[in-house]
Amino acid sequence: MGTGFDSQPDQTTLLEREPSKTKPPPMFTVVLLNDDFTPMEFVVLVLEKFFSKGREQATQIMLKVHHEGRGVCGIYPRDIARTKIDQVSRFSRQNQHPLQCIMEEA
């Protein structure tokens, strides 16, 4: 009669871990748009203050905005991009400038 125990060695089944199928969060490009009223120096200030650009890089982006109508400030996760846009919009309004900033999926 059996003892209620298997006489064979314990054969634990190991499951292989499947690679995670979660994708990284989508990234968003933050873009400044040109207008005919915001001074170029203010755009440079915004790029330095909110996007941590040095004077030279900020000037290059400002010139791109001026000549091409838009310039990329950076690529961020959605929440950070939204926060940066809100900061730029608030700062621009406080300084009575119509500077617009948008985000596009990267």
DSSP notation for 44-67: HHHHHHHH---HHHHHHHHHHHHH
Token pair belonging to 96: 């009575």
Q: What is the pLDDT of residue 76?
A: 98
Residue with tokens 């040109």: 34
Q: Is the pTM of this model over 0.75?
A: yes
**Residue 46 to residue 81: CA distance in whole angstroms:** 14
Walk along the chain (106 residues) in steps of 10 and give the mean pLDDT of each run. Answer: 56 70 92 97 98 98 98 98 98 98 97
Q: What is the pLDDT of residue 2?
A: 53
Q: What is the pLDDT of residue 7?
A: 56
